[in-house]
Structure 1
Amino acid sequence: MTEAEASLASATTRRTAAPMPAVRPPRRATTVASRIYRDLRAEIVSLKRKPGDAIAEKQIAEAYGVSRTPVREAVLKLADEGLIEIFPQSGTFVARIPLDGLPEAFAIRKALEEATVRYAAARATRSQIAALRANLELQREMQETRNFDGFHQADEAFHALIAEIAGYPGFWTLIQQTKVQIDRYRLLTLPVLGRMAEVIAEHSAITEAVAANDPAAAIRALDAHLDDLQISVADIRRDYPRYFTAPGEAG
């Protein structure tokens, strides 16, 4: 065998031995799985699917006109986030709210939002302050009609706007990732008599501190707002005992 033939044979062997490229799932399947994940997550966080509710994968697949594969993919992702629990011998259920996970989530959220409100108070422009006050009006409208979901969305927009004014909108993305269990608990507090009015008053205090360009006052107002939410955990658990799981309890 000549040197050229040997070189060609070696190259052919390397090509033959090279690993086959990974087979990617069809683009549509990935898109459907993502949509199912987003929809299920929104339904769980908004309490349209309540803690302990069964997750019927077959029914979900039929509703979307797909096989159970993308549904299973979405369910597993939600299980990783602690929003779904899978029991091989019993079924798949919306996870209950873990009481032992709330204090850490509150602490992380508080630390991140203290940073955003401090920067917001130092940098807010007149138009940005006007946007905060417009959001407060939206919250009042939602309160008057007892639109709990609309109030929740307005509340979210208020805190997102604070991060935007601070110049660090990415902080809000991090906060959202850590407060998913807080959101489920928080929605349970909104029907409590006077709760929405308290939230609006607390948001108003934050807004006025930001408008006054007073970072220290803004942090105090924010801390009072978040601490007030945490204080009511025991009362809400008493009203909805089946929605929570205490340390050491099985889901």
Structure 2
Amino acid sequence: MNFKILERKDREKTKDYVIRNMRYNILFFNLVPGEKISENQISDLLNLSRTPVREAFIDLNSSLLLDIKPQIGTFISFLNIDMSKELLFFRSSLEQNAVIEICKKGNLTLEKEFNEIIEKEQMLHQTNDFEKLIKLDNRFHELIFEELNYKKIPKIIENNTSYLIRMRILRLKANIRQTNYIDEHKNILELIKNNSPKEASRLITSHILELIDDMKILNNKYPDYFN
């Protein structure tokens, strides 16, 4: 098991610490789809009792990252294209409406923050620092809702679509689209600034849903990760 142990944060609850470690190792493929794990293994690795680990496993099962099979065992969930399509539809529906609302608002208060993210993405795109690239990508999309002063929606999206992050990381590893997504971020921002709601909505929808086509390539390249 290739498990990276993260440093515990101050006053971090034990279950949250377990979830953060598990999510990291699942999302970045230290724990690969289909791999069998146990509460005892994780308890020993993190030097914790089984109770918070068991609770964390239940939460991770709810977020589709673990597959708990009674009497058989617990496994890292496989990637599934149909499930991913459903989650992408959920995310794209929210974001396309958000950019329309921003255009209606008529001013962009977080323009500096948007530009800073794009600049950092351009600097990092040739590195293999997938963790930073994914964080920047997530932050760009979070700002869309923060521009509307919607603080809870990004967390709702994160809690319900973490399953998709593995697809996005796998796409980075496979060098699919390379810098294309950064150009799309720039174009989305320009369309918002130019008050073009239809075009901005159309572009952000295709930007999110293009992962569906990429998944077919990833399925061929990493067939053991899919079911």
2:82: which partner in 1? Answer: 100
Q: What amino acid is aligned across from residue 105 of structure 2 in structure 1?
A: R
Alpha-carbon distance, 1:86 to partner: 2.5
- Asked if 1:201 corresponds to 2:186, the answer is no
Q: 2:204 aligns with which of 199, 216, 222?
A: 222
Q: Distance in 2 between matches of 1:173 and 1:183?
A: 14
1:164: which partner in 2? Answer: 146
- Asked if 1:213 corresponds to 2:201, the answer is no
1:188: which partner in 2? Answer: 170
- Asked if 1:66 corresponds to 2:68, the answer is no
Q: What amino acid is aligned across from residue 43 of structure 2 in structure 1?
A: A
* Structure 1, 88-97 or 184-193: larger mean CA deviation: 88-97
**SS of the counterpart of 1:66?**
coil
Q: Distance in 2 between matches of 1:219 and 1:127?
A: 19
Q: Distance in 2 between matches of 1:144 and 1:123?
A: 36
Gap change, CA 1:178 and 1:206, over 3 Å in 2: same
Q: Distance in 2 between matches of 1:225 and 1:144?
A: 20
Determine if contact 2:184/2:207 at 8 Å carries over to the other structure.
Answer: yes
Q: Distance in 1 between matches of 2:123 and 2:30?
A: 22
Q: Distance in 2 between matches of 1:136 and 1:101?
A: 29
Determine if contact 1:123/1:213 at 8 Å carries over to the other structure.
Answer: no
Structure 2, unpaired ranges of 5+: 1-11
Note the alpha carbon deviations across 1:194-226, whole angstroms, 9 max, x for none: 523111011111010111122222112202212
Alpha-carbon distance, 1:125 to partner: 4.2
1:124-143 alignment, distance < 5 Å: 125=107, 127-143=109-125
TM-score normalized by the length of structure 2: 0.86
Determine if contact 1:117/1:166 at 8 Å carries over to the other structure.
Answer: no
Alpha-carbon distance, 1:89 to partner: 4.6
1:87: which partner in 2? Answer: 69
Q: 1:238 aligns with which of 220, 223, 226?
A: 220
Note the alpha carbon deviations across 1:31-77, whole angstroms, 9 max, x for none: 31232123212322233322122323223212332221221121122
Q: Distance in 2 between matches of 1:62 and 1:233?
A: 35
1:152: which partner in 2? Answer: 134
List structure 1 segments (4+ residues) > 4 angstroms apart after TM superposition.
124-127
- Please tell me the root mean square deviation across aligned C-alpha atoms, in Å: 2.0
Q: Distance in 2 between matches of 1:235 and 1:228?
A: 12
Larger fraction in helix: 1
Note the alpha carbon deviations across 1:150-183, whole angstroms, 9 max, x for none: 1111000000011111222322222223322222
Determine if contact 1:124/1:165 at 8 Å carries over to the other structure.
Answer: no
Gap change, CA 1:76 and 1:227, over 3 Å in 2: closer
Q: Distance in 2 between matches of 1:194 and 1:66?
A: 39
Determine if contact 1:120/1:167 at 8 Å carries over to the other structure.
Answer: no
Q: What amino acid is aligned across from residue 169 of structure 1 in structure 2?
A: K
Gap change, CA 1:222 and 1:71, over 3 Å in 2: same
Q: Distance in 1 between matches of 2:148 and 2:59?
A: 32
2:101: which partner in 1? Answer: 119
Q: What amino acid is aligned across from residue 138 of structure 2 in structure 1?
A: E
2:19: which partner in 1? Answer: 37
Q: Which has the larger radius of gyration?
A: 1
1:109: which partner in 2? Answer: 91
TM-score normalized by the length of structure 1: 0.78
Gap change, CA 1:85 and 1:117, over 3 Å in 2: same
